[in-house]
Amino acid sequence: MKKKLLALVMTVAMAAGILTGCGDTQDAQTSVPEESKTTEETVAQETPVLEGKLTVWCWDPAFNINAVNTAADIYKKDHPNFELEVVEISQSDIYQKLATATAAGNTEEVLPDIILFDDALVAQAASSFQGVLMDLTDVGIDFSSFAEAKVACSVVDGRNYGIPFDSGAAIAAYRTDILADAGYTIDDFTDITWSEWIEKAVVVKEKTGKSLLNGLGAYNQFSVMLKSCGGGYFDEAGNLNIANNEKIQKISQIYLEMLDKGVFQEEIGWDTYIGNINNGNVAGAMNGCWIMSSIQMAEDQSGLWEITNIPSVDGVEGATNYSSQGGSTWTITSACKNVDLAVDFFNSTFAGSTELYDEILPTVAIATWIPAGNSDTYKQPVAYFSDQPIYSMIVDYTAKVPSSVISAYDSSSRNAVCTAITNAAYSGKDIIEELKKAEETVSFEMEQ
């Protein structure tokens, strides 16, 4: 068990490095019987306002911490004796503390009430640290009001262990001035397949000298493509399925073709990745919607960008033009001493408040809680992206992302597949044979 926990912590550390409305009833004329009024007042008096303190572990002061503190401020309006204590801690350190506390058997003393996880890791945490995260399936949270694929990130064996937070819905963002130089508009890249995308990307390269996309190796791009067709590394029965996986084979071949034709540029680090986007050395960006904040760092390019959906994978079952990359999920731990308070806090904020999502939208914290997309704030045009209503567009994209099978070994599987692609791209190895080796690598890890 300790070996497995150590292996999982190392895997997570690697992954971390890559990476409300209410109606106005004032004018109502309908009279209410005095008896009914008395009953309602009695119920209100007998229903105590929840109070107390909750502690949270999460990271990123400008994004996640800002969001949960904003949620606390909203909750305090009706719960004046509520207190929230936020401890800033990285995702990899969270996993390390979980592993240490689980091995020592003192999770009740060490853990906070609430922990934030990256979407790619929450199911892994629920599986690896059994009993540490609360089963939230029947606590009264309406999971049907969230995007289906987002909810699936925190489901293990049919039970739900998380409350969805921000969207990682994938977008394709393009410099429209560069597309115009090649004779294209954003419409030419909407609702297309990857084979069509490559054909047009070659034209852009020939006429402008610019690759259409770049990225940090295959890691993010492969994940976006695989999720777009509901693909995963395990089958429905939970069996490892890499070597003979049609979707993985097809996407690997598409990615290698993109490299071969020079339409996708691999970068050696985050600064170079973002720098080449901001400097106009590439004509677009494809990633989770959070990439928009980095795109907008180039203030002089306002009005030169537009977004659309991503290409679909040719010839595979379940292919769509929608995917996700990144995003995070809140969890309640078994150490929580006031579960009713924690559940009510989430039901009143992240699972029930358009006010919250409106307030945190400037940080590009886009909701996966579907009702938030109906807010007027989400429908406003954004000048930087040529006055597109990008936020409501992304909520729509989020709702269309297909679900896929998620496993505790997804991170290990993704690393192994990306190594296989790298070997095929730069060492002349056969991709099919390399995928067989990738499956053997993951299988060996699972047996330890």
**3-state secondary structure (DSSP) of residue 98:** helix
The contacts of residue 318 (CB under 8 Å, 6+ apart) are 229, 230, 231, 402
Give me the pLDDT at residue 408, please: 82
Distance CA 413, CA 420 (A): 11
- Asked if the domains at 2-17+50-167+327-375 and 170-323+404-447 fall in one CATH topology, the answer is yes
Task: Give residue 47's pLDDT.
Answer: 53
Q: Are 75 and 348 in contact (CB under 8 A)?
A: yes
CA 330, CA 228: separation in Å to the nearest integer?
Answer: 24
CA–CA distances in Å: residue 110 to residues 32, 288, 306, 329:
51, 33, 46, 20
At 17 the pLDDT is 46
C-alpha to C-alpha distance for 287 and 36, rounded to whole angstroms: 54
Distance CA 309, CA 320 (A): 10
Look up residue 15 and give its two tokens: 């992954």
How buried is residue 268: exposed, middle or buried, by Cβ count under 10 Å (0-12/13-18/19+)?
A: exposed
Q: Which of 48, 378, 441, 21 is nearest to 233 (CA)?
A: 441
Assess contact for 210 and 181: CB atoms under 8 A.
Answer: no
Q: What is each CA distance from 40 to 27, 46, 78, 260, 384, in whole angstroms?
A: 20, 10, 18, 70, 50
pLDDT digits (tens, 9 = 90+) for 95-110: 899 999 999 999 999 9
Per-residue pLDDT of 2-61, as tens digits, reads 445 444 544 444 444 444 233 333 333 333 344 444 443 433 344 567 899 999 999 999
Give the other-Cβ count within 10 Å of 337's Cβ.
11
Give the count of beta carbons closer than 10 Å to the beta carbon of residue 296: 16
pLDDT in the model for residue 153: 93
> What is the rounded CA–CA span in Å between residue 122 and residue 180?
42
Domain ranges of the chain: 2-17+50-167+327-375, 170-323+404-447
Those residues of the chain that have pLDDT short of 50 are 1-3, 5-7, 9-46
What gap in Å lies between CA 299 and CA 295, rounded to an integer?
A: 9
Give the model confidence (pLDDT) of 285-325 as tens digits.
Answer: 999 999 999 999 999 999 999 999 999 999 999 999 999 99
> What CATH number is given for 170-323+404-447 in this structure?
3.40.190.10
Q: What is the pTM of this model?
A: 0.83
Output the CA–CA distances (angstroms, integers) from residue 43 to 48, 51, 82, 193, 397, in the order listed.
Answer: 10, 18, 22, 57, 42
Cα angle, residue 360 at apex, residues 359 and 362 outer, rounded to 5°:
100
153, 161 in Cβ contact below 8 A?
no
User: What's the CATH number for 2-17+50-167+327-375?
Assistant: 3.40.190.10
